[in-house]
Amino acid sequence: MGRISDRFDTLGAEGRRAFVAYIMGGDPDYDQSLALMKGLPSAGVDVVELGMPFTDPMADGPTIQLAGQRALEGGQTLEKTLQMVRAFREDDDTTPIVMMGYYNPIYSRGVDRFLKDAVEAGIDGLIIVDLPPEEDDELCLPAKAAGIDFIRLATPTTDAARLPAVLTNTSGFVYYVSVTGITGGAAAQASEVGPEVARIREQGGLPVVVGFGIRTPEAAEEIAGVADGCVVGSAIVAENATGKPVEEVLAFVKSLADGAHRA
């Protein structure tokens, strides 16, 4: 049992849905992104998704692409993103942290070295969007052996033939992408999401959290109501990009978390 399983068990016992917040490490700079990250739990965030900036984020829309560019231009590296986790853990040893991004920075660092550093820093899970199940030997299986959950994405195009492969070796939770396309796209629809969540949960036996296309407290409540939780990323990243103080960004995050927790 790790922090992710513990958190979902606790939420389940309380009859509450999870609110997961994504931020880009190093956007717009290290200090602000760290301050934002440290404030997320008090704003109602149950699981933190921390983006690893990368030069070719093929699954991301313009909002997160630009956030990654800002972070890289500001000198953010994988090492600095790991350092953010270490700094967060100085004050918070219970909130789960999932690092989300692409395989190239991890490959460049070396899988063994990365996993050792990730465990020591306090990372609980990985979402690596460009590593399919056919490549499990690359990172998924070594991560699980190191005690880090490997969280898969399922999409509206993940049919009955493909779903077993997606669920194999997945742990922590399943991230259901509610719409086809890139992040920050069309709005999610609960009527379409609900049956898919039920299908995935039945086959996988894991919590299913829904992301993409959630921008408002009302949408968070609606989508969380048909799942085990929801993820908001682009809307938070966009709010943080306006130059507002961290406290104002966290107030926006809290409104989203309150919506999810009303479900």
Q: Which residues are catalytic?
A: 49, 60
**Tokens representing 213?**
């296309």
**Tokens representing 16?**
């509450």
Residues 6 or more apart whose CB falls under 8 angstroms from that of 191 comprise none
Q: HSE (CB half, 13 Å, CA atoms) of 98?
A: 32
The secondary structure element, H or E, covering residue 106 is helix 103-109
Dihedral over alpha carbons 124, 48, 175, 238 (to 10 degrees):
-150
DSSP 8-class letter at 182: S
Buried b (16+ CB within 10 A) or exposed e, 121-157: bbbbbbbbbebeeeebebbbebbbeeebbbbbbbbee
31: exposed, middle or buried (Cβ count in 10 Å: 0-12, 13-18, 19+) = exposed
The secondary structure element, H or E, covering residue 18 is strand 18-24
Compute CA distances 86 → 31, 93, 223, whole Å.
Answer: 14, 10, 32
